[in-house]
Amino acid sequence: MIFDKYQPRVAYFCMEYGLNEELPIYAGGLGILAGDILKSAHDLHLPMVGIGILWQEGYTSQFINEHGWPYDRPASYAPELLQDTGVTVHVTIRGDEVPVRIWKVDSFQNAPLYLLDTAVPGSSYDWVTRRLYGGTSHDRIAQEIVLGIGGVRALEALGHTPDVYHFNEGHAVLAGIELIRRKKAMGMTFREALEATRREVVFTTHTPVMAGNEEHDLELLEYMGAFNGLSWEEMEQIGGDPFNMTVAGLRLAHMANGVSKLHGITARAMWSDKEDRAPIVSITNGVHVNTWMHPEIRRAYEANRSLWEPHMEAKQELLNAIAKRTGVRLNPKALLIGFARRAALYKRPGLIFQRMDIIGPLLESGRIQLVFSGKAHPQDEAAKRQVSKIAEITKQFPQSVVFLENYDMALGRLLTAGCDVWLNNPQRPLEASGTSGIKAALNGCLNLSVLDGWWVEACQHGVNGWQFGGGYEGPSQTKYDSASLYEVLLEDVIPTYYEHPERWRKMMVESIKSTYYRFSAQRMLIEYYNIMYQPSRTAKLLAEEIDHILATSLR
């Protein structure tokens, strides 16, 4: 049995949603996961609604200037994508009553998404929802008041009565503070209100990088109005001082999850010293197959036909897009390796260039071709330097290395369907899941990846892709990982591509076979419903059960 008869109604909270490139209110994997979840909820007819923010300037559109440096422009979208619900709620920021309008989006085959917006005519708080991840901590807290507190009020005003509040990442935890305030107003003590709130809340954590777990001084939270009627002591009990949004999420929820098996283990170790926190299970991310699988590749796979022709079709679509954007005509017969990611130091986009004496001749001879894409956060200079370094390398190998500006979902689709190999070399264990590799695998684009995130569970080396490096965590990790990458590339990937096409095609089939259901958003959502949203089973027991299964399956 997949589902119990009774399906809890779920309100899913997230700061960003990647439903489609036409609505650029996402920055990366977190938002795309949220978008894929709402689409699968729609496919499976599950009672879920999303709560998010209408970012007036979107995230960022990013291009490279004549000095090779990334610069940003606001993104835009067509207003027709939004329906005005006519509903306005209010939140209090710095003592001011701030009106928040609510829009609805349901035109991407998704469960309804409600977007909160402070750009109300006449309001001086229009800046709050201007730009995703822009501004200072002050701005961020204001945004989190809108998402969390405004989100709970919006649900009520719209007539929704969720059984479960799912906070995707710490950005939404002020929703828990609002749920507690309401219960106290009905006469419960703080303890009772916290316990009752916990029974309604589940939490997903995403960040194994300590610094990526957002913290704010309690004083600033109080000044901004995030206490929402709670006392200093009560807030401190929930998130500490400084108030850690992830810790708060873990204490406001009765059940939490990491986004892959390895990440669950990492997260449990990371937060093991925090008392009164929810047990953390693992639910591995999946992607929405309809969105990410090339229709021709899918048709061929489902009919047991050769994948090579549709693959070459998808590759040519990508090469045409590359030619159009960069003027470079890559060779469709030569091995094409893709790497596209949000720029972050731990993802190490330059790893393959560690030894120019090895990689240089392969690029000059046209044996391999590389296509890169990725955006840096507008305020992250180190990440921008990383992007500009890759842009610099394209000048050294103008016929075999290209960089595509303004990475978005449309480019993500083209790249993961059209490359031959998908390269992924994070510093293990910092890639909590990663989903671009799943998109690639679904299209028969073979993963060449460090054993991190989802790939730990999927990889059958030499059967559905390859693994390298990653086993050594220390000061020489980068050297070790690049040496290992060259070894697999030279001894297995390149010879297989050019000399054993039959084996390559078999690997493509295996790649799709091992991801088609197991790493689909559908499977992920079914697990959310069966494990996270199930009020009838005690969370702790279940978590122990899962820990036991994990411990045995990972040895």
CB closer to ligand PLP, 197 vs 435: 435
Do residues 25 and 59 lie in contact, with contact meaning Cβ atoms separated by under 8 Å? yes
Q: Which residue has the closest beta carbon to ligand PLP? A: 412
Give CA–CA dist 367/361, Å, rounded.
9
Are β-strands 61-64 and 70-73 bridged in parallel, bridged antiparallel, or unpaired? antiparallel
The least distance separating ligand PLP from the CB of residue 292, rounded to whole angstroms, comes to 8
How far apart are CB 223 and ligand PLP at their closest, in Å?
34
Show the beta-strand stretches assigned E in 118-262: 164-168, 201-204, 215-216, 243-244, 255-258
Looking at beta carbons only, is 14 or 409 nearer to ligand PLP? 409
Nearer to ligand PLP, 200 or 408 (CB): 408
Residue nearer to ligand PLP on the CB measure, 146 or 448: 448
Q: Which is nearer to ligand PLP, 206 or 315 (CB)?
A: 206
Q: In angstroms, how far is the first alpha carbon of the chain from the final one?
A: 28
Q: Which is nearer to ligand PLP, 21 or 192 (CB)?
A: 21
Give the length of the chain: 555
Nearer to ligand PLP, 28 or 58 (CB): 28
The upper half-sphere exposure of residue 38, i.e. CA atoms within 13 Å in the direction of its Cβ, equals: 29
Q: How far lies 535's CA from each of 491, 496, 539, in Å?
A: 52, 50, 8
Shortest Å distance, C-beta 359 to ligand PLP: 22
Q: What angle do CA 11, 13, 18 make, to 5 degrees?
A: 115
Determine the Cα angle at 410 with ends 406 and 411, to 5°: 55
Q: Is 188 exposed, middle or buried (0-12, 13-18, 19+ CB in 10 A)?
A: middle
Q: Take residue 320 and report the two structure tokens written for it.
A: 């045409």
SS3 521: helix
Indicate the residue among 178 and 420 with the shorter CB distance to ligand PLP: 420
Q: How far is the CB of 340 from ligand PLP (least distance, A)?
A: 7
- Measure the CA–CA gap between 36 and 72, rounded to whole angstroms: 26
Instruction: Tell me the closest approach of the beta carbon of residue 548 to ligand PLP, in angstroms.
Output: 29
For ligand PLP, the binding residues (CB under 6 A) are: 28-29, 32, 341-342, 407-409, 412, 434-437, 439
Distance in Å, CB of 412 to ligand PLP, minimum: 3
Smallest gap from Cβ 554 to ligand PLP, in A, equals 21
Phi-psi region of 434 (alpha: psi -120 to 50; beta: other; left: phi over 0): left
Q: Smallest distance, Å, CB 101 to ligand PLP? A: 28
